[in-house]
Amino acid sequence: MRSAIINLFFPQTCHACDALLTDNENHICVTCRHKLPLTNYHFDRPEIITKVFYGRVQLKAATALFYFHKEGRVQRLLHNLKYNGKEELGRIFGNWLGAELQESSSFNSIDVVIPVPIHPNKLKQRGYNQVALFAQCLAKALNVSCMDSVLLKSINTKTQVFQSKEARYQSVAHSFYARNLAAINHKHVLLVDDIITTGATIEACALALKPATNSCLSVATIAITHSIFR
């Protein structure tokens, strides 16, 4: 909790709406926390995302914490997380979803968490992988290891924001590779990313991890767009 004096001279604002935070608020104001659009897939409909990937990727379970709406609170939060150095949001979301996955039977057999990687050049430029803390907090909540050295990115792809579904797939189709796959043999892997838009990144990562022996894959992200269901 920040002191009133610190807030007076160094006021903090909500990462979702830019409103001034009170002494009892941290990073996201109470109003925005209550208005964030939760999916609750891991409780109510654990199969809804896996069905989207039928014929593309075999997933045991999949979930996202929030729905993503253009110009909405979640978009602003993800933008701050990814581009404005607000890495602490990854911890907030990881602790939030991690606590919920502890209560979900669909995720009680996870053995290892793997974050979707970013290219080394982008990592050097940004200073962090925006999903690293999110993945670490999920792993801690599930009492498993977080491995960031199995899945790697070899091609520094451009932003996919304005690309079509096919263009996104072509952009990332061969961007990822895996090493030391023996580390995930016979394990239930939780692949973690910030957002599912078309599913192209998840599909590409799953393809790279597929040669592992007798492993299975689940997915957890911070957000998911409605466009994936069309």
Q: Are residues 13 and 117 in the same domain?
A: no
Is residue 5 very low, low, confident or very high in pLDDT (cuts 50, 70, 90)? low
Q: What is the pLDDT of residues 63-116, one digit of tens each?
A: 999 999 999 999 999 999 999 999 999 999 999 999 999 999 999 999 999 999
Give the pLDDT of residue 1. 46
Give the pLDDT of residue 187. 98
Helices then strands, each counted (H, E), the chain:
10, 7
Angle at 206 between CA 201 and CA 210, to 5 degrees: 160
Is residue 230 very low, low, confident or very high in pLDDT (cuts 50, 70, 90)? confident
- DSSP code for 125: H
- Domain span at 190: 37-229
Mean pLDDT calculated for residue range 211-222: 97
How far apart, in whole angstroms, are the C-alpha atoms of residue 159 and residue 161?
6
Is residue 165 very low, low, confident or very high in pLDDT (cuts 50, 70, 90)? low
Alpha-helical (H) ranges within the chain are 4-9, 30-35, 41-44, 48-52, 73-83, 88-101, 120-126, 132-142, 165-172, 200-209
Q: Are residues 70 and 173 in the same domain?
A: yes
**Residue 134 tokens, joined:** 């999110």
Mean pLDDT calculated for residue range 147-164: 76
Q: Are residues 108 and 178 in the same domain?
A: yes
Q: Are residues 3 and 72 in the same domain?
A: no
Highest mean pLDDT among 8-17, 71-80, 155-164: 71-80
What does the mean pLDDT of the chain come to?
Answer: 91
Q: How many domains does the chain have?
A: 2
Q: Could you tell me if 176 and 119 are in contact, meaning their C-beta atoms sit under 8 angstroms apart?
A: no
Give the pLDDT of residue 170. 67
Shortest CA distance to 111 belongs to which of 134, 145, 152?
145
Q: What is the CATH number of the domain that holds 135?
A: 3.40.50.2020
Q: Are residues 17 and 83 in the same domain?
A: no
Residue, of 8 and 210, whose pLDDT is higher: 210
Q: Are residues 24 and 136 in the same domain?
A: no
